[in-house]
A and B are shown apart, each in its own frame.
Chain A
Amino acid sequence: MRRQRREQRGWWSTASVGAAAAFLMASQALADAPEARAPAAKAWKAPNQPTWFDARATLQVQAFQQAMLPGVPGMVAPIDLALPITATGFLRFGGIDFLGNDDSVSGEVALWGRLGPRDGLVGDGDLTTAWAQYRSGPWRVKLGRQVTWPGSARYVRFDGVSGGATFGFLDVDAYGGFVALPRWSLPRGAWVLGSIGDALEDPRLREAQNRLGQFLLGVRVGARAGSVVRGSLAFHEQHDAVGVAFRVLSADVTSQPVDWLGLGARASFDVKSLGFSEARLWADLTGWRVATASVDYLYQSPSLLLPQTSVLAAFGGASWHELGTELSVQLPWRLSVTGRAAGQLYDGDRPGGRGLARVKWVPDLDSRWLVQAEVARVLMGTQGYTQVRTSGRWRATPTVAATVDGALYLYDIPIVGTRHSLTGIVSAEWAVRPWLRTLLSTTVMQTPFAAFELQGLARVVVELEPSTTGGRP
C-alpha cells in the first residue's frame, strides 16, 4: 500500500516536472521582449497636432418594480413603480496651443442629470468632472473638479488645483481643494445608491454640511530608476466637518526586473493613530501569452480606514490578513481559464476564504459567440455563500448583439428565512449607426428581500468618437 502511494507520488512528480518543463519551455518561446534593444535615439519634434475633442451623450430610462415579502422583521415595504430618466454628457478636448506652447491645454467635462420621481426628488444631477490642464515643458497645472488617489481615502474627488513637474527621474505633485465626495449639495438621508428606486428622502434627517471645513491637501514625490524600479512617498490630509479625517503617509514601490515579472509593495501609515492602516505586497508573472499568475498579500486595519473623526475609529483595532493567488491560462480552441483563491485570517485565528474558477470560451475567430461559466465560494467564519454563474453573448450581425447572464447564490445560513437568490438578465444591443447605439435590458430577481423583482433599462448612446475611452454609460 505504502509502495503504491510512493509510486503514485513518483508518477505525479514526473508528470508535474514534465508539465513544469513544458510550461517553462512554452513561456521562454513566447517571451515578448526583443533580445536586442534599441539604444538611445534623440527625439525629434513632430509637427503640431490640430485641436481635437471627444464627446458622448447617453440617455437611460430605467424601470424598477418589486413585489416584496415581509423583509426586515415586522416590516412590509410597499414599493411603487419608479421610472427615472438619466442623461449623461461627456466632453474631452486637447491639442490647444496657449502662451506659445503647442498642444499645451487639454480638459474634460462630465455631468449627469436625472428627471422623474425617484428618491423623493423630481430632478437630480451632478457635475462629476470639470477641469482644464496646462502643460509647459516639465511643468503641469490642473484646475477644477478632479480626482486624486491618496492613501487611506483611496479615491477622492475635489474642487481645487493640482500641479507638478517632472525632472528626469523625479516627479513631484501637489494638490489642494475642497472635497466633492460626498456631494456637497445633498445631505445625508436624501438619496440612496442601490438597486431599488424607492422613495428614500426623509427631510427630518437632512444635515447641514459645512463644506468649507471639508478640504484636503497632499503632496507626492516619485522617483524611478530606468524602467526597472519606481517608487513614491506621499502625504495626504483630509478634513471633514469635525476635524482631521485622514492624515496618512504612504509609500509604494514597484519593480520590473525582467519583462515577465512585476513586483510591488505599498503601505499606508496613519499618522494620527500611529498605525498602519493598509499594506500590500505582490508579484505578477505577466509576460507569457499563454498564462499570467500573481501572488498577493494584504494587511488591513479597518478602523484606520474610517475617518478618524468617527468615534468608532477608536473602537476597532483588529487587523486582518489575506494571502491570495490568481492564475489565468489561455488554452487552445480559444478557451481561457481563470482561477483565484485567497485565504484570510481575522483576529489572528478566525479563518476565511474566497475562491473563483471561470471558463471563458470564444468559439469562433470573429468573436461572434462568447460563453462564460464560473463558480465562486466565499467563506467568513459562520456565514458564506456559493455562486454559480453562466453568461453568453451572440453577435448576430456586426450591429446587433444579444446577451444572457444568470446567477444563483446559495447562502450557508438563511437570510430573512431564504437560502438563495436568483437573477436572470437578458439584453439586446443595436448599433443603429456607428455614432448611435441602443440597448434594451430586463432583469428578473428573486431575493431574500423580494419574492419578485423586475428591472428594465432602455439606453441610447450618442458618441462623436466611437473609440473614446471616456464617458462610458
Chain B
Amino acid sequence: MTRRLSLLGLVVALTLLAAACPRGLLTRFPHRQHLAELECGGPGQAECLSCASCHLGDGTRAGAWHRPRKDNCGGSTCHQSAELDDVYARSLRPSIAPQPAGKAIVFEHDPHLDKPTIKGQCVGCHSGAVGTEGGDPLFPPMDTCLTCHEHRTQFDNGICTNCHKDADLRQLVPASVFRHDGAWVKRHGLEARQRPAACETCHAQTSCDSCHDTTRPSSPAMRNPEAIERELVHRFDFLTRHALEAESQPGTCVTCHVKTECDACHVARGVSASRAGAEGPHPALWSSGLGAARNTHGKAARRDIASCAACHDQGPASNCVRCHRVGGTGGTPHPAGWRSTAPRSNAECSACHGGSL
C-alpha cells in the first residue's frame, strides 16, 4: 500500500514535469548570450550588440525590421567564415519564417521604440529574446500590448482595428487574453455583462442566442448533435431528467425559461392544473389531509417553489390559494422572516388577503 501511494505521487510529479518540458522559444538563436553575456566593447573585443545590430540591415531606423541575414553574423572578431554556414543554419527554426495567415498585425516598431517610456528597448515586449528556454515567448502575446493603458481601453471598448486588419478579426481568437477555459461556462454571463463590447468583437448576439434563445423550435443539443465537446444541458433524454435537474439546481432553468413555457408542455401532457381532468403526477400523501404527516407538498414547495409554479401559477385561481388564503385550512404559506414592501392591496397579496385587510 505504501509503495503504491509513493508510486502514485511519483507518477503525478513526473507527469506534470513531462507536461512542462516540451516547449521552447520560437527561435534557436541564443539571444541572451549575444545581448548580455558576451564580453564586448573593450580593447580587442567586438562591438557590443543591440537588437538593431542584426535586425536593422542598413543600420537606420527607416530600415525594415527583418530576420538577420548571414552576413550580419560575420566579421573579423565574430564568427569565422568557415563556421558561418553551420552556425547560421543552426540558429534558425523554420517555423518563424512564414507569418500565419490572418495573424499579421498593423504595427510599426519605430513609433513604439521612440516612446520615452520604451527608450528604444526591444526586450520590454520581446522578453523571450533574453529569456531562458521554456520562458516567455519571443513574439509577445496580446496581453503585453494591453498593459499599455491606451490599448487596454481600446480593447475593452472593442476597438481592435488599430492593430488588426478588420478582415482578419473574425478569424482570430485572442487566446492569451480570453482564455475560455476552466469554469468559463459559469463565468461567461458576467463577462458579457461587464464588457459587452469586447465580446461583440468576435461574437454576434446570435452566438448567445444559439444556446439561450428559447423561442427556437428545438434545443441546441438537438440542433447540434455533432457538437460533442460543447456543454449543452439539454442533451440526451432531458425530458425524463428535467425535473431532477430543476430540483438539483433550482433557479438554473429561469436563466432562459419563463414559467409559462413549463406550463405549455405540462398542459399538453396532462400534468398541469390548467387542464381539466388531468391526472396528478404527485405521490401519495402529497396533500391528502390536514397536518404535516399527511402533507408532503409543503416541504417540497419550500424546497423549490419554482417547480410548483411551472404548473400551479394561475394567480388567484391557483389551487394553492384555495387552502392557503387567509381563513383557509392550509395556514399561512409565508416562511419565517418573510418580508415584502408591496401593499396588501396589490393583486398578488389580495389573492389571499382580500377581504381580510
Contact A290 B16 (CB under 8 A): yes
Contact A44 B337 (CB under 8 A): no
Partner of B204, one of A190, A346, A370, A470: A470
Report the Cα distance A220→B324, complex, angstroms: 39
Q: A399 at interface (Cβ–Cβ under 8 A)?
A: no
Contact B302 A318 (CB under 8 A): yes
Q: A163 at interface (Cβ–Cβ under 8 A)?
A: no
Q: A326 at interface (Cβ–Cβ under 8 A)?
A: yes
Q: Give the number of residues in B that approach A within 8 Å (Cβ atoms).
A: 161
Q: How large is the interface on A (under 10, 10 to 19, 20 to 34, 35 or more residues)?
A: 35 or more
Distance (whole angstroms) from the CB of B354 to the closest CB of chain A: 12
Which B189-214 residues have a C-beta within 8 angstroms of A?
Answer: 189-190, 192-194, 197, 202-210, 212-214
Q: B35 at interface (Cβ–Cβ under 8 A)?
A: no
Provide the residues of chain B in CB contact with A313, threshold 8 Å. Answer: 305, 309, 348
Distance (whole angstroms) from the CB of A453 to the closest CB of chain B: 9
Q: B346 at interface (Cβ–Cβ under 8 A)?
A: yes
Q: B96 at interface (Cβ–Cβ under 8 A)?
A: no
Partner of A311, one of B111, B206, B351: B351
Given A50-B166, A311-B320, does the pair A37, B333 have CB atoms closer than 8 Å? Answer: no
Partner of A41, one of B115, B204, B225, B229: B115
Q: A369 at interface (Cβ–Cβ under 8 A)?
A: no
Given A181-B215, A457-B222, does the pair A372, B339 have CB atoms closer than 8 Å? Answer: no
Which A293-341 residues have a C-beta within 8 angstroms of B?
Answer: 293-294, 296, 300, 302-303, 305-318, 320, 322, 326, 328, 330-332
Contact A274 B341 (CB under 8 A): yes
Q: A397 at interface (Cβ–Cβ under 8 A)?
A: no
Contact A383 B244 (CB under 8 A): yes
Report the Cα distance A290→B22, complex, angstroms: 12
Provide the residues of chain A in CB contact with B236, threshold 8 Å. Answer: 389, 407, 409, 421, 423, 445
Q: B97 at interface (Cβ–Cβ under 8 A)?
A: no
Contact A427 B225 (CB under 8 A): yes
Report the Cα distance A243→B245, complex, angstroms: 30
Q: A196 at interface (Cβ–Cβ under 8 A)?
A: yes
Q: A54 at interface (Cβ–Cβ under 8 A)?
A: yes
Partner of A40, one of B5, B115, B194, B228: B115
Report the Cα distance A189→B279, complex, angstroms: 18
Contact B12 A22 (CB under 8 A): yes
Closest partner residue, chain A, to B281 (CB atom): A72
Provide the residues of chain A in CB contact with B241, threshold 8 Å. Answer: 385, 409, 421
Partner of B154, one of A43, A332, A380: A43
Closest partner residue, chain A, to B13 (CB atom): A22
Q: A208 at interface (Cβ–Cβ under 8 A)?
A: no
Contact A290 B19 (CB under 8 A): yes
Contact A272 B239 (CB under 8 A): no
Contact A39 B118 (CB under 8 A): yes
Provide the residues of chain B in CB contact with A149, threshold 8 Å. Answer: 189, 192-193
Closest partner residue, chain A, to B192 (CB atom): A149
Provide the residues of chain B in CB contact with A393, threshold 8 Å. Answer: 226, 228
Q: A172 at interface (Cβ–Cβ under 8 A)?
A: no
Q: B108 at interface (Cβ–Cβ under 8 A)?
A: yes
Which B153-203 residues have a C-beta within 8 angstroms of A?
Answer: 153-154, 156-157, 161-163, 165-167, 170-171, 176, 179, 181-183, 186-187, 189-190, 192-194, 197, 202-203
Provide the residues of chain B in CB contact with A191, threshold 8 Å. Answer: 217, 264
Q: B46 at interface (Cβ–Cβ under 8 A)?
A: no
Report the Cα distance A193→B249, complex, angstroms: 20
Provide the residues of chain B in CB contact with A38, threshold 8 Å. Answer: 112, 118, 124-125, 140, 144-145, 147-148
Given A32-B141, A49-B161, A222-B194, does the pair A311, B348 have CB atoms closer than 8 Å? Answer: yes
Distance (whole angstroms) from the CB of A52 to the closest CB of chain B: 6
Distance (whole angstroms) from the CB of B294 to the closest CB of chain A: 18
Distance (whole angstroms) from the CB of B231 to the closest CB of chain A: 10
Closest partner residue, chain A, to B208 (CB atom): A147
Report the Cα distance A230→B152, complex, angstroms: 13
Contact A292 B268 (CB under 8 A): no
Report the Cα distance A250→B315, complex, angstroms: 28
Provide the residues of chain A in CB contact with B71, threshold 8 Å. Answer: none
Report the Cα distance A405→B147, complex, angstroms: 44
Convert B82-119 into 0s and 1s, putting 1 for each residue whose CB lies closer than 8 angstroms to a CB of A.
Answer: 00000000000000000000000010100110010110
Q: A117 at interface (Cβ–Cβ under 8 A)?
A: no
Binds A, one of B26-34, B49-57, B58-66, B251-259: B251-259
Report the Cα distance A284→B184, complex, angstroms: 9
Partner of B259, one of A118, A193, A271, A310: A310
Which B339-357 residues have a C-beta within 8 angstroms of A?
Answer: 339-342, 346-349, 351-352
Given A75-B270, A182-B260, does the pair A441, B225 have CB atoms closer than 8 Å? Answer: yes
Distance (whole angstroms) from the CB of B204 to the closest CB of chain A: 3
Contact B215 A128 (CB under 8 A): yes
Given A36-B127, A38-B145, A282-B187, does the pair A447, B239 have CB atoms closer than 8 Å? Answer: yes
Q: A97 at interface (Cβ–Cβ under 8 A)?
A: no
Report the Cα distance A307→B315, complex, angstroms: 12
Contact A90 B341 (CB under 8 A): no
Distance (whole angstroms) from the CB of A42 to the closest CB of chain B: 7
Report the Cα distance A451→B263, complex, angstroms: 25
Of A129, A302, A326, A455, the most chain B CB neighbours within 10 A belong to A302
Report the Cα distance A327→B233, complex, angstroms: 19
Query: When A and B form their complex, which 8 residue pairs have the shortest distance between CB atoms, in order from nearest?
Result: A15-B9, A470-B204, A316-B305, A317-B335, A39-B117, A292-B182, A26-B20, A49-B166
22 contacts between A and B (CB under 8 A): A14-B9, A19-B9, A22-B17, A32-B143, A34-B128, A72-B279, A155-B256, A192-B264, A192-B265, A192-B268, A222-B194, A266-B190, A292-B181, A294-B186, A305-B251, A307-B259, A314-B340, A347-B303, A403-B225, A407-B235, A441-B225, A470-B205
Besides A30-B20, A311-B352, 16 other A-B contacts (C-beta < 8 A): A14-B6, A38-B125, A39-B148, A42-B115, A44-B111, A46-B162, A128-B215, A182-B261, A191-B217, A200-B264, A272-B340, A305-B306, A315-B324, A347-B299, A447-B239, A468-B170
